[in-house]
């Protein structure tokens, strides 16, 4: 789908996956004027396909587009395009329990621009790929390292939107962490360097007794759709959930830690390494709360239980 100066997206067609043509002076290539989304389609046992809260992705894309000075498709256009793309690729949606179809919508400044300014033309496209679990460990615990030299986002920056540049800034820290054998990196705030922000591509939660806490949204972390869903599910199951500042000390003293995201769903954290010290949780096992929330959310996403939240969209 394309959009020029009137700010309205029109057209749209299904094409085989392959290279796209882009001006060397496009806004996305030169100034990082690009946003993406990520969501999944699951196959139900009866063969039908379920999307999980696609309108939330559309709304987040629109919010990000405002920050990045870009026009965006309407919620309806976004959801319709996702449905069309998934249905055209329905044979690639794995059977229940064997993975999902990952859907990647991209919005970019595709028009040519030389001086620093928003691009004169925009392209919205979607591609898909079947995926298994994100971390090779699956539901087994992951091991994180707390990063204090590199930051993912700063106050007033673009950390709260899903713009491509945010991911460029984590590549190096993530590469170093993986080379040392960690699953991923946990970032701290860039001012006091003591409060948790998020992991490279997921949100973080800590559990202490019956209280589940996650960093509050202050513009530097991504408002994850899984994060929002887990907060609602946990409250509905009797947990007290707090969105607040969480210090590294509180993290190290937690009973349980887990990450949430479309790709990782709910991933229990087995250990955290901070300034050379490693803290293991629950004997590196899968925490009971993480396991409970994982099971509730995946049963909903795969259509194994009745969707009393109205979060899934069925495609036949």
Site residues (CB under 6 A) for ligand PMP? 38, 198, 201-203, 222, 224-227, 260-262
Distance between CA atoms of 144 and 175, rounded to whole angstroms? Answer: 13
Q: Give whichever of 12 and 127 is closer to ligand PMP, judged by the CB atom.
A: 127
Whole-angstrom CA distances from 186 to 93, 127, 193, 204, 205 are 31, 28, 12, 8, 11
Minimal distance in Å, beta carbon 130 to ligand PMP? 17
Q: Give whichever of 53 and 113 is closer to ligand PMP, judged by the CB atom.
A: 53
Q: Give whichever of 119 and 264 is closer to ligand PMP, judged by the CB atom.
A: 264
Minimal distance in Å, beta carbon 227 to ligand PMP? 6
| Catalytic residue selected from 8, 15, 44, 162 | 162
**What would the two tokens of residue 304 be?**
């194994």
Q: Give whichever of 59 and 315 is closer to ligand PMP, judged by the CB atom.
A: 59
Closest CA to 204 of 180, 178, 181, 230: 230
Minimal distance in Å, beta carbon 25 to ligand PMP? 28
| Contact (CB, 8 A) for 15 and 91 | no
Minimal distance in Å, beta carbon 315 to ligand PMP? 20
Minimal distance in Å, beta carbon 226 to ligand PMP? 3
- Only one residue has tokens 């679990």, namely 133
2 catalytic per annotation: no
**What would the two tokens of residue 14 be?**
């299904």
Q: Give whichever of 189 and 198 is closer to ligand PMP, judged by the CB atom.
A: 198
Residue nearest to ligand PMP (CB): 224
Whole-angstrom CA distances from 200 to 59, 212, 253, 297, 301 are 22, 21, 22, 21, 23
| Nearby residues of 182 by Cβ (< 8 Å), 6 or more positions away | 143, 144, 145, 273
Q: What is the DSSP letter of 303?
A: T
Distance between CA atoms of 15 and 149, rounded to whole angstroms? Answer: 43
Give the catalytic positions in this structure: 162
């Amino acid at each position: 789908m394309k959009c020029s100066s009137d700010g309205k997206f029109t057209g749209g067609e299904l094409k085989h996956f392959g290279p796209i043509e882009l001006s060397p002076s496009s806004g996305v290539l030169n100034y990082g004027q690009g946003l993406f989304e990520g969501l999944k389609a699951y196959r139900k046992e009866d063969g039908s396909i379920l999307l999980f809260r696609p309108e939330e992705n559309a709304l987040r894309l629109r919010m990000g587009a405002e920050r990045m000075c870009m026009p965006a498709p309407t919620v309806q256009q976004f959801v319709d395009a996702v449905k069309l793309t998934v249905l055209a690729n329905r044979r690639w949606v794995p059977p229940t329990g064997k993975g999902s179809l990952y859907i990647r919508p991209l919005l970019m400044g595709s028009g040519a621009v030389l001086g620093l300014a928003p691009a004169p033309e925009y392209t919205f496209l979607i591609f898909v790929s079947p995926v298994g679990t994100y971390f090779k460990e699956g539901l087994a615990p992951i091991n994180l390292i707390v990063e204090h030299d590199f930051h993912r986002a700063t106050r007033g920056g673009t950390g709260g939107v899903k713009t491509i540049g945010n991911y460029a800034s984590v590549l190096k820290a993530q590469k170093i962490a993986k080379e040392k054998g960690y699953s991923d990196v946990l970032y701290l705030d860039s001012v006091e360097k003591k409060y948790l922000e998020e992991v490279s591509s997921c949100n973080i939660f800590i559990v202490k007794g019956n209280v589940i806490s996650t960093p509050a949204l202050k513009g530097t972390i991504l408002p994850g759709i899984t994060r929002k869903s887990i907060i609602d599910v946990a409250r509905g199951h009797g947990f007290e959930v707090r969105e607040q500042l969480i210090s590294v000390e509180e993290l190290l003293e937690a009973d349980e830690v887990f990450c949430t995201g479309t790709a990782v769903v709910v991933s229990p954290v087995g250990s955290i390494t901070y300034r050379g010290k490693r803290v293991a949780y629950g004997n590196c096992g899968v925490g009971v709360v993480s396991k409970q929330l994982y099971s509730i959310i995946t049963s909903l996403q795969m259509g194994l239980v009745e969707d009393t939240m109205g979060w899934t969209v069925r495609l036949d």
